[in-house]
Chains A and B, each alone.
Chain A
Amino acid sequence: MNPVLETKLLTKEFHTGSEILCAVNSVTLNVKPGEFIAIMGPSGSGKSTLLHMLSGLEKATSGSVTICGMDLTESNDEELTKLRREKIGFVFQFFNLIPVLSAYENVTLPMLMAGHKESAIRERARFLLEQMGLSAHLHKRPHELSGGQQQRVAIARALLPTPPILMADEPTGSLDTKTGLEVLRLLRNACKAPLQHSLVLVTHDPKVASFANRVLFMRDGRIVGEVSDMDQLQLLDLNMSFSAAIQQQWEVLMA
C-alpha cells in the first residue's frame, strides 16, 4: 500500500537573533492508510513543529513532505489551503470551536464555506455527531458543552470531509483521563476499516500513545526511537506489553 504521508530528511531551522535552532532535524517517516502514529518527546523536542510541517502550515527549511502524492514544499498557499480542506483533519488541544456557532454549525461550517450544499452534508454531519454521542447537543453553543463534548464536536468537524489523514496535537491535553480515553477510542475507531483515516498524534502521555500502532520518540528535533505494535515478537522476547515498552522508552528519553 502506498503511504498517505511521506517525509524525507525533513529539517526546520529557526533563526532567533544570531542563533540558529534546529527544531526538526532530518526526519524521515511514512504513514500508511489507517495507520495511527503517536509522536512522543520532551517539551521543546520539535513535535509540534514537525506536525505543522506535515500539514503544510510551516515551510520546511529542507527535505520534503508528500501527502497523497502531492509535494507540500512545492505548493503555494492556495494549493495548501485546498489540501488542508480536503486531505487533512485537525484536532486541537483547546478545541478551537467558533463560539458564536452551535455544535452542528461548527461541524458543517468549513464544508459550507468550501461551497458544499448543506443538504449534501447534513446527513453525514448528524451521523458523525451521533457517533460522537452528541445527538442531544446539536444546537448547543461551545460554552454550554463540557471539554470532552467540545473535543468530540471538533473530531466530528475534522472527520466530516473524510480526510485521508488526521493531525492532532495533544487532543487530550485539556481533558481528564477518562474523557481523554473516550476521545482516543473514537479517534482510533476512525482509523479502522471502513473509514481508514490515518492519524498523527502528538502527546506526552504514554497511556495515550499506547492506542497507536506505532510510537516515534523525538529528542532535540531527531527521531531517536520507535516502538511498534507490529513488533509483537520482539516485545514478547523482552517479556513486555506494548504500553510497558512505551513507558520504558519514555523514561529513558526523559532521564
Chain B
Amino acid sequence: MNSSAWKLSLKFFIAKKGRSFFSILGISLGILLVTAVQIVFSTLDYSYAALQRQQYGDYDVLAYNQSVGSGLTTQMLAKLKNVQGIESLQPILYPYQGQSPRYSTDSLFYVGLTDTYLSKQLKNYEIIRGHFPHSHEVALSPEIMLQHHLHIGSAIELNLPHKGVMKFIITGELPPSSQVHFATAVFDYSWLQKITGMTQSTGVIMKLNPRLNSSEKNAVLQTIREDLYKMVPHITIDTRDQLSQQINYTDVFLPIVRALSITSIIASISIVISTLQISLQERRKDFSTLRLLGIKGSQLSLLILIESLIYGLFSTVVGISLGIGVSFLIKTVSTQLFHVSMTIVIIQWSTLVWIALCSITMIILAGLIPGLWARRLSPIEAYRTADPSGDSTNGIVTFFLAPSLVAISVILVLLTHILKLNVFIYLFSGLCFVVGMYMWIPQCLQSSSRLFSWALKPLFGSNVVLASRNINRYKRRSTLCVGALMLAVTVGMAGMIVLNVIVVGQTRMVNFNYPEDVILRAVDFHGFSSGLKNQVRSIKGISTETFTNLAGAFVLNAPNPDGTTPMPTSPKGVQHTGLGSLVTLVGSHLEEDKRIDPFQIIAGRIDSRALGNDGVVLTKSEADALGFKVGDTMRLKKGFTNQTLTLKVVGIIKGTSSTFSSPWAIVNPTVMEHNFSIHSLSSIQIKITSGDARRVIQSLQAFLKNPQYQDVQLINKMKEKQIAQQPSMLFSIVLTTTILTIVGIATLGLMNHTASSIRQRSREFATMRAVGTTRPQMMRLILAEGMMTSVLGGILGVVTGGGFAYLALLSLNQARGVSFPLSWIYGTIFISPILGLFASWSTSIWASRQDILSSLSNY
C-alpha cells in the first residue's frame, strides 16, 4: 500500500507542475533566507573579528608594570608560557620615560620589543616604514622626526639611564601618536636589556589558541590573571575586553535578523498550508471517491503528508543550496560595492543540518492540517456535483478571541505605562497584538471587502461585488493568504523601524568617534601658518574646521578655585597651581553654521555678536571644573606675564564628538591674535562631503610638500571610520535582502493562491464565459480579487508591523529614537495593489483564454 500511496502522491505532485514549482520556490525562498542569514552572520562574525585584530592588533593579553624593581623574570615568563591555551608570548621592556637632551620639551617613551609577529601586533609600536632596529638603532614616532627634520638613516642623540647620552641611527618610523606630545622610541628588546642592565621585563604580550571557544578562553584568561597577580601584585592587565565587546556588537543584529527570517518562514509555511489546502479542495472529489472505494481516512492523510514531504525535501534542498549561493553573492556584492571586507564564507554544516531538519519538520507539520481535514472528508462528497460552496472560519475565534487579544494587548500597554511595570510586558503585548490581528483577519476580510466593493464599484463595476463575494466564500483560504502578506509586511515594517533606530544610533556613535575624515595636525607647539587654511578651503567637496594654537592662562576669579581636573595627566587639562587654575584657550569659529563636529548648546547662545571680542565658550567639563555660569566674567592672567584679560562666558557646550568633550575654553580666533599674538593653527579638521576621497588626499599631500608646512602631519581617519561603520552597513544589507525576499515570498504566495483558486473554479468561470461574460470582464474580476487580497494584507501588515515594532522597541528602551518609516508605509500602500495585480495577471490571462467547452467538461 505504501508504495502505491507514494506513487499516487508523486503523480498528484507532478500533475500540477506549475504550482508545485511555485510552492517549492516560495518555501525555498524562506529556507534560503534562514540559511543565508546564518552563513552571512557567521562569516561576518569571523571577518569582523579578523578585521578588528588586523586593525588593532592580533593579541589577547597585554600586561605591564612600570614601577621600579618589580618586573617579570625569565623564570616567570617560562612558567607563563606553560599555561595551557597560550599559543605564544613575548616580553616587552618599558625602561623608563626618558628625555632627549637636545629636545627637552618632548617626552619620549622608550620601548624594547622583540622582532616577532606577536610584538608587531602592538599597533602603536609597529614599524610602518624602514626596518626593525638592532643595536645602536632606534625607530621613532613621525612627530619627532618631522619636528626635527630627521629621516630614516639620520642620527639622533638620546639619553639612556646609567649610560648617558648615546648616538642612534634611525631605522624605522612608527605610526602617528594619538597625542602630539607623546612620542615613542622603539629599541631591540635584548639589546636594550643589555645596555640598561635590566634583567626583568616590564611587560608581556600574549596570544591564546584561536580555536578556544569563549568559555575556554575565559578560563585561560582567569588563570593568566591569577598567575600574573601572584608574580607582580600591581601589574596592569589588559585582556582586550573592549575589543571583544566591539566584536560582540554583531550579536545584537543576529537575533533581530534571525527573528525576521523565522517569521518569514512562518509566512511561507502559511502559504504552503494554503496551497496544499487549495490543491486538496480541487481534488475533493477524487479524495472522496477514493474514500468511497474503501480507502481509509488515515491513508488519505498519509497521502497528503507524503505530498508535503515531497514539497519539504525539494524546497529544503533547493533553499539551502540557493542560500549558500546567495551568501557568496552577498559577500561579493558587499565587498565590491560597499567595501566591506569579508575574507572567506564560513559555513557551519551542523547549523545547516539543523535548518534542514527543522524546515522539513515544519513543512510536514504544515501538511498535517490539510491531512487531518482529508481524514474528515465524507465519502458522500463523491456524489456531489455542485461546485464547492466555499469554507467557513471559526466564529468563536474571530468574534471573541481575536478582539479580546487585541484589547488585552492595549490594556497591558496602558497598565505597563502607567504603573511602570517591567518593560518586557511591552514585548509580550506586542506578540498578543500580532496574534490577535492575525486571528482577526476573517472579520476584517468580511467588512473590508464590503467596503472595497462599495468604494471600487465605480471603477470596476459589478465585478468587484462578485470578487468580494468570492473572497468571502473562501474565507479560510483568503485568510491564509492575507495573513502571509500581513506577516511579510509586518516583518518588513518591524525590520525597517528597528533598522532605523540601530543605524541612527550607530551613525551617532561613529560620528562621535570620527567627526572628521582627515586631520592636518601641527607636530609641535609652533603650529602652522593659517595660509594653509585658505589653500585647503579651495578644494571642492569638503568642509573644514580650524583650531588655532593653544594658549594657557590662569583664572584669577574661578568660583571653584579648587576644582579638580577631570583628567589630571592630560596636558590640556586644568592644572591647579598657586597661580590659579590653568585653562587652555583655543580659537575656533564656533558660530559657523556647518560644523563638522556639531555640539549641543547647554546654556547661553553662540553667534558672532555674542562671541565678539570678549566672549568665551566653555566646554561642559571645563565649566563644571571651574564653576562658571553663563553671564559670568572671567579674569585671566596671560601665562606667566602680568597682563590680564577679561572674558565673558557666553555659552556652555557639550560635544557630540570627541573634540568638545575635552576641557577647553573656546574664543574667537581674533582674541587669540590680539592677546596672545597667536596667528598660527594647531589643526585643521576636514570632512569630505561630496568630493572624491583619493583626490582630496592627493591635493592635501601636494600642499604639504611646501617646506613651509613640513611640520604638518596628515592623519587619515577614513579607513578606521569605515571599519567602525561596517556593522550597521552590513546589517542594512542583510535586512534589505531579507525584506526583499519576504516580499518575493508573499508575491509568490499570492500568485499561487490566485492561480489555484481560479483553477479550482475554472468550471464556474467557463460557465460565466458561456453565458456571455467577456474576456476583459473576466480578467477584471480576477484582478479585482487579487488586488483586494493584497491591499488588505498590506494595510493590516502596516498596522500590525508598526504596532509590534513600536512595542518591541519600547521593551528595549529604544522607543525614543523611533521614527516611523513613512516612505515604507506609503510604499506598502502603493505597492500592495500592484503586487496583487502582478500576482493575478498571468492567472487572469490564463482564465480568460481557457477553452469554454473543455473547462465545462470534467477534467
Residues of A within 8 A of B (CB): 48, 52, 57-58, 77-78, 81-82, 84-86, 90, 92-96, 98-101, 109-110, 112-115, 142-143, 157, 169
Instruction: Say yes or no: B294 contacts A48, CB within 8 Å.
Output: no
Residue B706 is within 8 A (CB to CB) of chain A in the complex: no
Q: CB-nearest residue of chain A relative to B11?
A: A100
> Given that A94-B385, A113-B295 are known contacts, is A99 also in contact with B15, CB under 8 Å in the complex?
yes
Assess the A57–B294 pair: CB atoms within 8 A.
no
Are B382 and A96 interface neighbours, CB within 8 A? yes
Shortest CB distance B280–A (Å): 14
Q: Name the CB-closest residue of B to A115.
A: B1
Query: By the criterion CB–CB under 8 Å, are A98 and B286 in contact?
Result: yes
CA distance A114 to B5 in the complex (A): 10
Which residue of chain B has the shortest Cβ distance to A89 in the bound complex? B293
Q: Which chain B residues border A99 with CB–CB below 8 Å?
A: 15, 286, 859
Given contacts A78-B296, A81-B297, A101-B11, 12 further A-B contacts (CB under 8 A): A84-B292, A85-B294, A92-B382, A92-B383, A94-B858, A96-B292, A99-B15, A100-B15, A109-B290, A110-B290, A113-B1, A113-B290
Given A99-B15, A100-B11: A114 and B385 within 8 A (CB)?
no
B15 cross-chain contacts in A, Cβ below 8 A = 99-100
Q: A84 near B379 (CB under 8 angstroms)?
A: yes
Give, as a whole number of angstroms, the nearest-CB distance from B823 to chain A: 48
| Interface 1/0 per residue, B360-401 and A, CB below 8 Å | 000000000000000000111011010000000000000000
- Asked if B166 is an interface residue, CB under 8 A from chain A, the answer is no
Q: Which residues of A contact B289 (CB under 8 A)?
A: 92, 96, 98
Nearest-neighbour CB distance to chain A for B567, whole angstroms, equals: 81
Specify which chain B residues have a CB less than 8 angstroms from the CB of A52 in the assembled complex.
380, 383
Docked CA distance A99–B289 (Å): 12
| Nearest CB on A from B296, distance (A) | 5
A-B contact pairs, 25 of them (CB 8 A): A48-B383, A57-B380, A77-B297, A84-B292, A84-B294, A85-B294, A92-B289, A95-B858, A96-B292, A98-B286, A99-B15, A100-B14, A110-B293, A110-B295, A112-B4, A113-B1, A113-B4, A113-B5, A113-B294, A113-B295, A114-B1, A114-B294, A115-B1, A143-B859, A157-B293
**B543 interface contact, C-beta 8 A:** no
Nearest residue in B to A174 (C-beta to C-beta)? B858
The 4 A-B residue pairs whose C-beta atoms are closest, nearest first, are A85-B294, A112-B4, A143-B859, A110-B293
CB B855 to nearest CB in A, in angstroms, measures: 12
Main secondary structure of the interface of B (DSSP, over half): helix
Contact A93 B1 (CB under 8 A): no
- Nearest B-chain residue to A110, judged by Cβ: B293
Contact between chains at A101 and B8 (CB < 8 Å): yes
Q: Contact partner of A113 among B285, B292, B299, B382, CB < 8 A? A: B299
Instruction: A112 to B290: give the CA distance in the assembly, Å.
Output: 12
Chain A residues with Cβ below 8 Å from B291 are 81
- Contact B290 A98, beta carbon cutoff 8 Å: yes
- Indicate whether B525 reaches chain A with its CB closer than 8 angstroms: no
Distance in Å: Cβ of A149 to nearest Cβ of chain B: 13
Cα(A222)–Cα(B557), bound, Å: 119
Q: Assuming the A-B contacts A100-B12, A113-B5, are A142 and B383 also in contact, with contact meaning beta carbons closer than 8 angstroms in the complex?
A: no
Give a binary string over B1-42; 1 marks a CB under 8 Å from any A CB, 0 the rest: 100110010011011000000000000000000000000000
Chain A residues with CB under 8 A of B296: 78, 81
How many residues of chain B get a CB closer than 8 Å to chain A's CBs?
Answer: 28
Known contacts A78-B296, A81-B294, A114-B294; A109/B8 CB under 8 A? yes
- Most chain A beta carbons < 10 A, residue from B4, B14, B296: B4
Expressed in whole angstroms, the Cα–Cα distance for A98 and B303 within the complex equals 14
Residue of A nearest to B289 (CB): A96
Task: Tell me the complex Cα distance, A81–B5, Å.
Answer: 17
- A109 CA to B256 CA in the complex, in Å? 50
- List of A residues within 8 angstroms of B299 by Cβ: 113
Residues of A within 8 A of B4 (CB): 109, 112-113
Query: In this complex, what residue of B is CB-closest to A101?
Result: B11
Least CB distance from A72 to B in Å reads 13
Contact check: which of B14, B295, B859 meets A142 at CB < 8 Å? B859
CA distance A57 to B383 in the complex (A): 11
**B377 vs chain A, min Cβ distance (A):** 12
Known: A101-B8, A109-B4, A143-B859. A81 touches B295 (CB 8 A): yes
Q: How far is the CA of A57 from the CA of B292 in the complex (A)?
A: 8
Using CB atoms, name the residue of chain A closest to B15: A100
Nearest opposing residue in chain B for A102, CB measure = B11
Give the residues in chain B near A86, CB-CB below 8 Å. Answer: 294
Given A77-B297, A115-B1 in contact, is the A57-B379 Cβ separation under 8 Å?
Answer: yes
Q: Output the least CB separation between A247 and chain B (Å).
A: 27
Give Cα distance in the complex from A52 to B295, angstroms: 17
Q: Using a CB-CB cutoff of 8 Å, which residues 291-344 of chain B contact chain A?
A: 291-297, 299
CB atoms of B859 and A82 under 8 A apart: no
Could you tell me the distance between the alpha carbons of A44 and B380 in the complex, rounded to whole angstroms? Answer: 17
Q: Which residue of A lies closest to B858 (CB)?
A: A94
**CB nearest neighbor in A for B380:** A57
* Cβ contacts under 8 Å, A81 to chain B: 291, 294-297
The answer for the CA separation of A52 and B380 in the assembled complex, in Å, is 8
Chain A residues, Cβ within 8 Å of B285: 96
Residues in B whose Cβ lies below 8 Å from that of A143: 858-859
Inter-chain CA distance A78–B285, complex, in Å, is 20
Contact between A58 and B380 (Cβ–Cβ < 8 Å)?
yes
Tell me the bound Cα distance from A92 to B289 in angstroms.
Answer: 10
CA distance A81 to B298 in the complex (A): 11
State the CA gap A48–B379 with chains docked (Å).
Answer: 14
A96 contact set on B, CB distance < 8 A: 285-286, 289, 292, 382
Inter-chain CA distance A6–B858, complex, in Å, is 35
CA distance A113 to B15 in the complex (A): 20
Alpha-carbon gap, A61 to B260, bound state (A): 55
What is the CA–CA distance of A29 and B203 in the complex, to the nearest angstrom?
Answer: 108
Cβ of B780 to closest chain A Cβ, rounded Å: 30
Min CB–CB distance B302 → chain A (angstroms): 10
What's the Cα separation between A136 and B649 when bound, in Å? 108
Q: Which residues of A contact B295 (CB under 8 A)?
A: 81, 85, 110, 113-114
Please state if B294 and A169 are interface contacts (CB–CB under 8 Å): no
Bound complex: CA A245 to CA B244 (Å)? 100
Hey, which chain A residues are within 8 Å of B286, CB to CB? 96, 98-99
Given A58-B380, A84-B379, A90–B293 Cβ distance below 8 Å? yes
Shortest B688–chain A CB gap in Å is 66
A110 in contact with B385 (CB, 8 Å): no
Chain A residues near B379 (CB-CB < 8 A): 57, 84
